[in-house]
Amino acid sequence: MALLTRKYVTNEAPSSNPKSRHRFDAGLWIGGGIVGFILILGLVAPLVLRHPDAMSAFYLASPGQHGFLLGTDQYGRSELTRIVWGIRTSLEISFVSIGIAGFFGTVMGLFAAANRTFDMGIMRVMDVLLAFPAILLAIGIMAMVGPGVISVIEAISVVYIPIFARVSRAPAIEQMTKEYVEAERSLGASTVRILFRHVLVNIWPIIIIQLSLAISDAILIEAALSYLGLGVVPPAASLGELLRSGQSLMFTAPWLAIFPGVAIALAVLGFNVLGDAARDHSAVRGK
């Protein structure tokens, strides 16, 4: 898999052409539709589908045979069931890890904007972490803590805390120069109150957009780690592990590798399109 780069929310203004606004709206609908479909799959997995390790007597059944829509693997397990459960696992890991990274990174960015000494210290540490490609840093962390769901969450969180710190710091610094901040200070408001009651309220759209973009990368990182054998431990279903196990049967049962790959691509595409469209749409409305 290609080395991942961490995406930032930028403040570049989109084209003022009216047609571009329709594209942004279309992106919101398309990205939102894909993400909604993925979320529904993840939610219904334990309610509708049987356990991903449930076996049948039909080994390597082709898609559509014996009532299995996406076929079965070498153990007779439903590929559709395992993919849906794998999507659920990826979503759980991605949402939790990016939520943790977003919280701690945003708090660091806010305090860095308000305190020069803290800014000089913590942001240099963030710069060091940003110097490493995302997947390489995640692999290094996994090598130290070992495989497992909790370890993957920890690795992805550490990888993306610097991103949220950087993304929140710049607009927070800009907000700290506003007149309302001086007015609050003159009324005796504490720095913490100003940061979380006023500054954060004004920069939260940027944070939300960055969350969507980061989740797409988190899904890809989790899949890459599981593909390398460093992520989710079998028999738990994971898209990366399904892709790895299906690769050995690529010429015998190609659907075992194709369908998990399509699921990963669809999930990453959905969150990317949604995040990009939301960023552009927000910039258009702010003009």
User: For the segment 168-177, what is each residue's pLDDT rounded down to a tens digit?
Assistant: 998 998 888 8
User: What residues are paired with 191 via a beta bridge?
Assistant: none
| Res. 2 pLDDT band, cuts 50 70 90 | very low
Dig out the tokens for 178 from the structure: 């506003």
| Res. 186 pLDDT band, cuts 50 70 90 | confident
Give pLDDT tens digits for 75-131.
Answer: 888 888 889 898 988 999 999 999 999 999 999 999 998 888 888 888 888 988 888
Could you say which DSSP state residue 197 is in? I
Closest CA to 155 of 165, 166, 147, 164: 147
Specify the pLDDT at position 20.
Answer: 46
C-alpha to C-alpha distance for 97 and 124, rounded to whole angstroms: 22
In order of their start, the domains of the chain are 89-286 (1.10.3720.10)
Give pLDDT tens digits for 222-252.
Answer: 999 998 888 888 777 888 888 888 888 888 8
Specify the pLDDT at position 22.
Answer: 47
Q: Is the pLDDT of residue 32 over 90?
A: no
Q: Is the pLDDT of residue 10 over 90?
A: no
Average confidence score pLDDT of the chain:
83
CB atoms within 10 A of CB 33: 13
Specify the pLDDT at position 4.
Answer: 59
Specify the pLDDT at position 99.
Answer: 95
| Res. 282 pLDDT band, cuts 50 70 90 | low
C-alpha to C-alpha distance for 252 and 72, rounded to whole angstroms: 12
The pTM is what? 0.84
Q: Crossing angle, helix 134-145 and helix 149-176, to 10 degrees? A: 130
What would the mean pLDDT of 43-65 be, rounded to a whole number?
77
Dig out the tokens for 23 from the structure: 């594209």
Q: Is the pLDDT of residue 1 over 50?
A: no
CB atoms within 10 A of CB 51: 14
